[in-house]
Amino acid sequence: MSAWRDLGEGAWVRQSRVVAMNSVVVAHDGWAVVVDPGVLPSELTEIAMQVAERAPRFEQVILALTHPHWDHVLGAPWFPAAHVVGHVGLAETLQDDAAKIAHEAEHEAAAAGEQYPSAFQPFAPTHAVRGTAGVAIGPIELIAHDTPGHSASHLAFWLPGARVLVAGDLLSDIEIPWLDAAPWVYRRTLTQLHWVLEQEDVRVMVPGHGSPAMGRVDAYRRLLRDLDYLLALEAGIATQRERGATLEEAQTALAVMDYLGKDDPHYSTRAIHSGNVAQAWETSDPTTV
């Protein structure tokens, strides 16, 4: 069975065996955009073949990267001469985290009996964007949306040609929000995506991990669920602050919260939740309660 799922209108998605990460290919007229190719070397080769069939010329390939976390950034060597679209903060983070990314990648590849041809090398996008930015290269158009909360250098890509929204590590059906900033930053991003869902004709929304949402109603439900989780988390933190609890006590109290993937034996989100409690605690102001 092919690992590819045909999304129609020139778009395909492929899910990795590692952390159920999605790579998206959209092809048009001898050009292709590939978003977050990954994760294992054999999978990257398969993705490069899919791209080469549709866009045989290296310089007619656009590599779009949602954020600088290890599982999303390993594909660059498979697409030499590609135009690279990423956040203005991408290059610096890749530089800082290069050893960590290489270590994680090699660890996962070894577990799968594979090996990367060379160690991860940091790189810089040819098209570094911030805010809401339209990028047109050849016949391919994409709109990047700054979407911090999980990563400060996070972009979601709207591909109007195929009517596909590639959300990066947001709006998953197997993962709760994974915070790297105060919860309100993430909520602000969900508001931005809400705006995208209202303004654009979103046919498919592909998250970084899990299953695509078919249609905007499915995407909307995930957005509302994530918003609900964040509000409950923030309310819980405020209550614990009022009680004069320590972080440890807050962790115990908020461990009873109900959330997506809590009891999933294959993809448990308990560690993410516990990290979120710590993040929300550190970024909440004890003096305002």
Catalog residues that contact Zn ion under the rule CB under 5 A.
Answer: 69, 169
Nearer to Zn ion, 95 or 115 (CB): 95
Q: What are phi and psi of 4, to 5 degrees?
A: -85, 145
What is the closest distance, in whole angstroms, from the C-beta atom of residue 209 to Zn ion in the complex?
8
Residue nearest to Zn ion (CB): 69
Going from the C-alpha of 40 to that of each of 74, 76, 83, 277, the distances in angstroms are 9, 13, 22, 31
Fill in the amino acid letter for 202. Answer: V
What is the closest distance, in whole angstroms, from the C-beta atom of residue 164 to Zn ion in the complex?
19
CA 111/CA 118 separation, integer angstroms: 17
Nearer to Zn ion, 140 or 169 (CB): 169
Burial label, 113 (beta-carbon count in 10 A; 0-12, 13-18, 19+): exposed
What is the closest distance, in whole angstroms, from the C-beta atom of residue 168 to Zn ion in the complex?
7
* DSSP for 192-220, written as a single string: HHHHHHHHS--SEEEESBSPPEESHHHHH
What is the closest distance, in whole angstroms, from the C-beta atom of residue 94 to Zn ion in the complex?
13
Nearer to Zn ion, 148 or 236 (CB): 148
What is the closest distance, in whole angstroms, from the C-beta atom of residue 208 to Zn ion in the complex?
6
Nearer to Zn ion, 161 or 210 (CB): 210
CA dihedral angle for residue 165, residue 170, residue 174, residue 180, rounded to 10 degrees: 160
Nearer to Zn ion, 99 or 217 (CB): 99
